[in-house]
Amino acid sequence: MMALTATSAFAGGYRVSLQGQKQLGMGHTGVAVTNSAEVLFFNPAGAVFLKDKFNVSVGANALFARTKFQNETYNWKASTENTGTPFSLYASYKALDWLAVGLAVYTPYGSAVEWDQDWVGSHLVNNIDLQAIYVQPIASIKLSEKFSIGGGPIYVTGGVEFNRNLTRSLTDVEGPEGKRSDVTLDAQNVTAWGWSAGMMFNPVDKVRIGLNYRSEITMEARDGDAKFADVPAFAQGIYSNTRFNADLPLPAELTAGISVQLSDKWLVAFDYNRTFWNVYKSLTVDFASPAIATSVNPRNYKDASTFRIGTQFKPNDKFSFRAGWYYDESPVRPGYFAPETPRNDSMGFTGGLTYMINSNFGVDVSFLYLHFDEVNASYDHYTEDGNQNVSFGGKYKNVVFSPGVGLSYSF
C-alpha cells in the first residue's frame, strides 16, 4: 500500500485531509473524540482514554480530482484528472491504566497533478508527484481521570518528481518531433524529523476538550537529479544534466476542538485548525551547474484556517452513522496562484458508517465531496530573459470525490 501511495492535494496548498475513515465521516473532526485508534493522528493524548486495551484501525481512500482551466481572452483551455490512494494505519496498546503507547502511519501531505503535455502553462508545470509518509510512535499519559497528555517524534520519508518546460518558447526545432525543451527534477528517499504533542481534558462526563500541535517539517532534497530534454544544440552547453538542492516545508498546524455526547446514541464534535503556511515563501531550486541560474518561484503563502463540524449516530451495537461539513481556507494569496496546486477556498461534505461484524471487528466506509467555487486567478511572478512579473492566469474549476474503506479491531 505504501508503494502505491500517490496522493493528490486538495486541501489548502498540498495538505491532504484523509487520516481516518471514522473521523472523515464526521467532517474530519477528531481532536476531542476517542472512538477508535484514529485518535493517534488527531490527538495522541486521547489514546489512554480508549476503552479497550488494544485498538487498531487501517484504511485507504480512492481519490478522484479534476481541474479545468480556461482563459477566455486568449481562448486557452486545459484540464487535468488525477487519482490517488492516501492511507492510514493506527495501533494502540494500553500498557497500564495511566499509560498507552502506539504507532501511527499516515500521509498528510502530497500532490499529484498532470496537465496536458505542452499546455499553455507548461513553463510553470507539466506534472508533479509529491509524496510524504509520516511514521509516528506515540505515548499517552493519564495525569488524572480527567486530564491527559500525549505525543511523540515523527519520522517522514518521501520524494518528489517535477517536470516543466524551460521557457514559454524554447524548442528543439532540429529534433524529429520539434518538442519544447523541458526539465525533470527527481529526488527520492528524502527524510526528515518532527514531533507532535497534545492534551485532552474531560471537564464533565459528556464533554471532551482537545488540543494538538504538529511541528513544521522541512523536506530537504539534496543532490537530486535534474534532467533536461529536447534542448536545441545552441543551448546544450548551458542546459546539461546536473544535480540540484531544494527545500519544501510541511507546515506546522494547531488544532483545538470539543466533543459532546448528547445522549447514548448522539455525538457531536467541532474542530478548529490553523495551518502555518507562511513558512512557504518560495519554490527555490539551486542547480549544481554554475551555468544554470538558481530558479526562484515566489509562493508567499499565508496562514489558513479550517472549520469542521461532525456528528455520529449509533442506534445499536451493529451500526454507527456519521456526517460532517468543513470550510477550508486556501493559503494562496492573490497573484500567487500556481497551477501545480490549483486550489482555492473549499467546502467539504462528508459521511460514513461502521458495521460491526462482531463485538470486536468492524468495517468502516466514508465518502468526501469537495466543492470549490470557480476562481479567476493568476500567477504574476514568472521571470524569463530578464522580464519581470510575466502573468499567467484564467479561470479554474475543481471537483474532488473520495470514497474510503477501513477496518477496525479492538479487544
**Whole-model pTM?**
0.91
pLDDT value of residue 339 = 87
pLDDT, tens only, 205-221: 999 999 999 999 999 99
pLDDT value of residue 387 = 62
Q: Are 133 and 1 in contact (CB under 8 A)?
A: no
pLDDT (mean) for 256-260: 98
Looking only at the bridges linking them, the beta strands covering 295-298 and 127-142 are unpaired
Phi and psi dihedrals of 45, rounded to 5? -65, -25
pLDDT value of residue 388 = 66
pLDDT, tens only, 169-212: 899 887 777 789 999 999 999 999 999 999 999 999 999 999 99
The burial of 175, by beta-carbon neighbours within 10 Å (0-12 exposed, 13-18 middle, 19 or more buried), is given as middle
pLDDT value of residue 411 = 93
Rg of the chain's alpha carbons, rounded to an integer?
A: 23
pLDDT, tens only, 121-166: 999 999 888 888 999 999 999 999 999 999 999 999 999 999 999 9
Looking only at the bridges linking them, the beta strands covering 217-229 and 319-328 are unpaired
Closest C-alpha among 278, 253, 257, 281 to residue 267: 257
